[in-house]
Amino acid sequence: MRVPTDLEVVEEAVDVIARHCLASGLTPRAARFNLRVALSEALANAIVYGNQMDPAKRVDVRVEMDDGGFAVYVSDEGAGFDPTRVPDPTLPERIDRPDGRGLFLIRQLVDDVSFNDRGNAICMILRRA
C-alpha cells in the first residue's frame, strides 16, 4: 500500500491493513491493538520525521505473512535516522518529553523490530500465537 504524506490517512490505512491481517489469521488482540498502535506510530513517524510532511513524498507499507506470523514493513522517502540514538523516554530526565515514545511503544507491542541500514524503513514482526 502506498500512503500519501498526510496524517489524516493514517487511521484509514491502519484499518485496511488490520482487517486483512485479522482475516489472514492474526489474533484479534494482536490485530485490534498491537498492530493498530504500532502501525499508527510507524506511519506517523514516517510522515512527520521521515518525509518531513512533504506532500510530494509517499510512505510504503508492505505486509508479508507466513506460518510463523506477520512482517509489516513501513518505509519513507526521508534521509533516515539511527534508531540506536533515540533516547529511552522512560528515563527520569526524559519522562516529560514527548519525543521517542512512538518507537518505544512499537518495541513494546511487537515481537521484533529492525531497521534498514539507511534508517528510513522499519520491519515489525508479529508472531502467531
CA–CA separation, 52 vs 32, rounded Å? 28
CA distance 108 to 93: 20
Domains and their CATH numbers in the chain? 2-127 (3.30.565.10)
Query: Which 8-state DSSP code applies to residue 111?
Result: S
* pLDDT digits 0-9 by tens, 51-84: 999 999 999 999 999 999 999 999 999 999 999 9
Asked whether 9 and 42 are in contact (CB, 8 A), the reply is no
Grade residue 98 by pLDDT with cuts at 50, 70 and 90. confident
| pTM for the structure as a whole | 0.94
